[in-house]
Structure 1
Amino acid sequence: MAINKELLKGTTTLLILQLLDEGDKYGYQMVKELENRSQSLFTLKEGTLYPILHNLEAERMIEAYWEETEKSRKRKYYRITKNGKKLLVDKKTEWLAYSKGVAGIIGGGAYGELGSC
């Protein structure tokens, strides 16, 4: 089932911050982890991810650093900042309130069956 891009757009920052709250990651690693953990429901293109990362970095929600890999290649990693952690809490609170409201209208709770369509 493909997810409407407008729905994904509203949650991408939340998902990225959550991944980085769990540990530092590089871009492609985030793309693959989102895809794997969502059972391929969230398939971000790197061209979508990097502008979001750059905006979060400009807003000081995350910071980047370079690290050398075992093959002597440099890889750019991202980590969440204190401000990013605060934003993550706000985004989670907002998402939980939103999903609770939607579930109250369509029924079945967040993971339950849909009501009559």
Structure 2
Amino acid sequence: MPQTSFSSDLMRSCADLVILTLLNKTPMHGYDILVSMGDMGDGQFRFKQGTLYPLLYRLERAGWIEAQWQEPPEGKKRKVYHITKDGRRVLKERTQQWHRFTGSVNAILQECSHG
């Protein structure tokens, strides 16, 4: 039976990378970030709102994202998050690290599965 979600440790370890990647594509409301994570991650990458918003506030305090209030013609005001210049720099660094890290882990897994 396939696993339907990742461990919370694994999710936390790459949450910043995922959020910065999504916001690099387009500014989003918090709810849109949650939906996009699930849609783009084949339903495997899901956070609860109570988990996402503290992450967004932390990224905002770090200066990697900024939030602006938007008031649509219909509906209530909502925060829209977008990535900053520092956030793009961090995203580039973290993406490079992620590729090196997953490449190393995959190499170990492959080497050890043949033994």
Report the TM-score when normalising by structure 2: 0.91
Alignment gaps of 5+ in structure 2 = none
Match of 2:99 in 1: 96
Matching of residues 17-36 of structure 1 within 5 Å: 17-36=20-39
2:85 to 82, 86, 108: 82
1:19-53 alpha-carbon deviations (Å, 9 max, x no partner): 00001000000000000111111011111110011
TM-align CA RMSD = 1.8
Separation of aligned partners in 1, 2:41 and 2:91: 19
Match of 2:76 in 1: 73
Separation of aligned partners in 1, 2:7 and 2:73: 39
Separation of aligned partners in 2, 1:116 and 1:44: 35
Separation of aligned partners in 1, 2:108 and 2:84: 36
SS in structure 1 of the partner of residue 67 of structure 2: strand
Using the TM superposition, give the Cα deviation of residue 97 of structure 1 relative to its aligned residue in structure 2, in angstroms. Answer: 0.6
The farther-off stretch of 70-79 and 4-13 is: 70-79
The answer to whether 1:106 aligns with 2:82 is no
1:10 to 1, 9, 13: 13
Using the TM superposition, give the Cα deviation of residue 73 of structure 1 relative to its aligned residue in structure 2, in angstroms. Answer: 1.1
Separation of aligned partners in 2, 1:41 and 1:96: 20
Letter in 1 for 2:38: E
Alignment gaps of 5+ in structure 1 = 109-114
Letter in 2 for 1:79: H
Structure 1 residue ranges, 4+ long, deviating more than 6 angstroms after superposition: none
Letter in 1 for 2:89: K
- 1:116/1:41 CA distance change after superposition, 3 Å: farther
Using the TM superposition, give the Cα deviation of residue 70 of structure 1 relative to its aligned residue in structure 2, in angstroms. Answer: 3.3
The answer to whether 1:47 aligns with 2:87 is no
**Identical positions, percent:** 32
